[in-house]
Amino acid sequence: MPIARLTDAEVAALLEDLPGWALREDGLALECGFEFDDFSQAFSFMTRVALYAEKADHHPEWSNVYNRVGITLTTHDAGGISQRDADMAHAIEAML
């Protein structure tokens, strides 16, 4: 059974709780950019996110350029944003 997409109202409420995060232009993903002092800190953060992702079996789309990390969260199985993305965004915030 595929996981459900959050409703627009649920996504709006979620974003209220996640300063710095925004809706992707198509409304199907959450996006956030992070900046660290250097590559080592950025990669250490990515390692923490990767360990969460493997445990949760939910994986980010992301990019890294030196001290910057861009993260996009969407649930392929839901065709948009699901509770798994909400949980992951909150977990990421707790890792900073």
Residue 34 structure tokens: 């992070």
Smaller CB separation from ligand H2B, 8 or 77: 77
The footprint of ligand H2B (CB under 6 A) covers 57-59, 74-77
- Per DSSP bridges, beta strands 30-35 and 22-23 are antiparallel
For the CB of residue 8, give the shortest distance to ligand H2B in the complex, in Å: 20
DSSP code of residue 31: E
For the CB of residue 20, give the shortest distance to ligand H2B in the complex, in Å: 20
Smaller CB separation from ligand H2B, 43 or 62: 62
CA–CA dist 15, 37 (Å, integer): 26
Smaller CB separation from ligand H2B, 42 or 73: 73
DSSP code of residue 70: E
For the CB of residue 92, give the shortest distance to ligand H2B in the complex, in Å: 13
CA–CA dist 66, 82 (Å, integer): 30
